[in-house]
Chains A and B, each alone.
Chain A
């Protein structure tokens, strides 16, 4: 019993230590971010790595999420004889929830793991120590551009995801199942406010900050072993997913 309590206390202490480390890491990232913008080349490279390279998977998944939404929404709305509301329902659920959340989960899986394993491997092969010896600040040279790249890429990926998903809804709903095209778009336009678009983009931005932060933190602080890099990658995905969903609830509660 006593051993269990000690165990619990120790793991609680470890958790708090990690949380404190994350906060300190986030602050120093923010502190260094303006300096990194003076070297835009590094940031552009990371926007390419995290954003442009994720584009194919984001668009593919967006298309299929939209098509499924079209099928399910049509089936549900048909029971009430109001298939024309499909556009409204799909657009609102995509803008407010599905778009940002699914994009963030895909982003964590595609870009977050790449960031974490890259940084972890740099740590394991002593590249980061080598930079420190050469008086190059690895935070400024390596970590901050990767973080900023992710933060810039996420809202754009979210917007692309939602647009492609709406195309998917339209494809199934209008082309395949025969919902009236004019009704579909006009009901959507009547119901969607500018605030809904803003909610989606704000969520995309916040999730981008959270997922990029977790990825670079886990990678930078990975144990310098093969196992440590693997563990950092796993933790990146798991923590990003959990944090995304928790933040999503909070943001929804604030903005609704």
Chain B
């Protein structure tokens, strides 16, 4: 058996290395940047359709992340999705006529909330509602809209293409 001092030192090094690895995993590869600071305020926005937006998705202005989506709920009175945004207090002068839209990062990327500033002199306060919103774009809706518009322009004057799709051939 080796002298116990060597054992102690190597065990200490091993444990230190283990905890350093855990610390690395927790701080470097997870998205905890905003949950560490609690200085933030909340905004609400109502959408007809949030698409694939998830809690924790970034809220960005001009591509800079200024907050996170805190929660997504459904309002049974309005029949709309209610999205709560948590914005860092460093960004506390957003005009209160700014609009929020749900956008997609890249082709396979996740969805996020983009805010483009308006022209008002007053800024959002904690708990305010974002009035101007733009829903998530659902690909199927876009495609069907395009298809129907194509069909409609071809046989204008005929029967409605939706009622009689076979007529387009």
| A-to-B contact residues, CB < 8 Å | 41, 44-45, 47-48, 51-52, 55, 80-82, 85, 91, 95, 153, 155-157, 159-160, 162-164, 166, 185, 187-194, 196-197, 200-201
In this assembly, does B22 line the interface, its C-beta being within 8 Å of a C-beta of chain A? yes
A194 touches B30 (CB 8 A): yes
- Contacts A44-B7, A52-B10 given; indicate if A156 touches B21 (C-beta within 8 A): yes
Report whether over half of chain B's contact residues are helix, strand or loop; otherwise say mixed. helix
A193 touches B107 (CB 8 A): no
- How many residues of chain B have a CB within 8 Å of chain A? 28
B31 to chain A, nearest CB (A): 5
Residues of chain A contacted by B108 (CB below 8 angstroms):
80, 82, 85
Report whether over half of chain A's contact residues are helix, strand or loop; otherwise say mixed. helix
Residues of chain A contacted by B24 (CB below 8 angstroms):
163
Task: Determine the residue in chain B with the shortest Cβ distance to A197.
Answer: B25
- Contacts A82-B108, A85-B108, A193-B56 given; indicate if A160 touches B26 (C-beta within 8 A): no
Q: Report the stretch among B12-20, B147-155, B161-169 that lies at the interface.
A: B12-20
A159 touches B14 (CB 8 A): no
In this assembly, does B145 line the interface, its C-beta being within 8 Å of a C-beta of chain A? no
Partner of A51, one of B14, B22, B29: B14
Task: Determine the residue in chain A with the shortest Cβ distance to B108.
Answer: A82
Q: 5 tightest CB-CB pairs across the interface, nearest first?
A: A156-B18, A159-B21, A52-B14, A163-B21, A48-B11
In this assembly, does B110 line the interface, its C-beta being within 8 Å of a C-beta of chain A? yes
Residues of chain A contacted by B58 (CB below 8 angstroms):
190
B31 touches A192 (CB 8 A): yes
21 CB contacts below 8 A, A to B, read A41-B4, A44-B8, A45-B11, A48-B14, A52-B13, A85-B108, A91-B29, A156-B14, A156-B21, A160-B17, A160-B21, A163-B21, A189-B28, A190-B31, A191-B31, A192-B30, A193-B31, A193-B56, A194-B26, A197-B22, A201-B22
